[in-house]
Amino acid sequence: MPRRRTKLHPGDMAPDFALEDASTGRTVTLEEFRGSPLVITFYRGTW
């Protein structure tokens, strides 16, 4: 079943998610950064 996409608007709280740190392999969650400024950049494709 495909995941439901949610459009965020400026000022909306992003839903929590987890990604693997490419340097350490450790799983990092958005929740770890709540309350701190955070910039997330997504790149399409592979390195």
Using pLDDT thresholds of 50, 70 and 90, give the confidence band for residue 46. Answer: low
So what's the pLDDT on residue 2? Answer: 59
- The overall pTM is greater than 0.75: no
- At 2-38, the pLDDT tens digits run 567 778 888 888 888 898 988 899 999 999 998 888 8
- Note the pLDDT of residue 25: 93
pLDDT of amino acid 29: 94
Q: Measuring CA to CA, which residue among 17, 11, 24, 9 is closest to residue 40?
A: 17
Q: Which residue type, as a one-letter code, is found at position 38?
A: L
